[in-house]
Structure 1
Amino acid sequence: MPEQAKAEEARIKALLEGWADAVRRHDLPAILAHHERDMVMFDLPPPLQCRGIEAYEQTWDLLFRYHKPGTAFDFRELAVTAGADVAFAVAIMWCGSDSSSNPIDKDGFLFRLTVGLRKVDGDWRIAHEHHSLPATD
């Protein structure tokens, strides 16, 4: 892998780690800081999709009702693939009372995250965010 691609992937990982840290702190301005104004998100709870930064901002109220500041919102796995001006990341994350590795812990859950990014004026911006859980019977 070329050094430039490694450097871009490291920048994106740092951006996403910063986003997760902002979620743990309930720092809404920092959560929104690297998102495009016209971003699209597919989330765990309804609605089916949200479009635009204002709609995305409103989705955090629901999580913050159940997720206390300082509570786990942690990457378990994170892989990034970066091109010159677009990139994507796939991750397994833990959201819960601690960083328990037990996926059936009643105080938390594992979920999947996919993020699409584009480079704008030299900075990576999140254009798409998709959170999901495996389907159950």
Structure 2
Amino acid sequence: MTHHEQDEAELRRHIERIIDAIGAKDPDALRQLYAADVVSFDVEPPLQHVGIDSKLRNWINAFAVFDRLSYEVRELQFAVGDDVAFGHGFGRLSGVLQNGATTPGMWVRVSYGFRRIDGRWSLVHDHVSVPFDVTTGKGVADLEP
């Protein structure tokens, strides 16, 4: 296995740890996986969330809406360099809401930017987007990978 293949395997484990922390509703575990100065382009306003506290506030808000939740990532691809890497795929947050209703969630496009900081990979940027219909200006939430 080449050095870059080993790094890609570690990056995939990093995303798996994020998925596990989301399912456990564990912001402390998430804090360990993002850079302190992470910049997130999430689906919730504003246009960008800067810093780990802002990013975690988004997850804490989601945790408050869900009784149980899971996050799924499909078709994850990586390009890996020596100290930077990026990935892209599709993500879906789903589960049981606090009111007992089950939601299948919707598929969104996700991009991840990583930097190797002090010898370990850290998530420095993520971007989540929903396709939209240009004629109506409305998001299209029923697409699947």
Q: Same fold (TM over 0.5)?
A: yes
Q: Which runs of 5+ in 1 are unaligned?
A: 99-104
Tell whether the 8 Å contact from 1:77 to 1:93 is kept in structure 2 after alignment.
Answer: no
1:106 Cα deviation (Å)? 5.4
Q: How many Å separate the matches in 2 of 1:50 and 1:81?
A: 24
Residue number among 82, 86, 89 corresponding to 1:84 in the alignment:
82
Q: Which runs of 5+ in 2 are unaligned?
A: 97-101, 137-145
Tell whether the 8 Å contact from 2:114 to 2:122 is kept in structure 1 after alignment.
Answer: yes
- C-alpha change, 1:58 and 1:97, in structure 2 (3 Å) is closer
1:35 Cα deviation (Å)? 1.1
Partner residue in 1 for 2:13: 14
Greater Cα offset, 37-46 or 54-63: 54-63
Is 2:8 aligned against 1:43?
no
Which structure would you say has the larger Rg?
Answer: 2
Name the count of aligned residue pairs: 129
Partner residue in 1 for 2:109: 112
**CA shift digits 1:5-34 (9 cap, x unpaired):** 111000000001111110011011111212
RMSD of aligned residue pairs (Cα, Å)? 1.8
Query: RCO higher in 1 or 2 (8 Å CA, sep ≥ 6)?
Result: 1
Larger relative strand fraction: 2
Query: Percent of counterpart pairs with the same letter?
Result: 29
Q: Which runs of 4+ in 1 moved over 2 A?
A: 65-69
Partner residue in 2 for 1:102: none
Q: How many Å separate the matches in 2 of 1:18 and 1:61?
A: 17
Tell whether the 8 Å contact from 2:95 to 2:103 is kept in structure 1 after alignment.
Answer: no
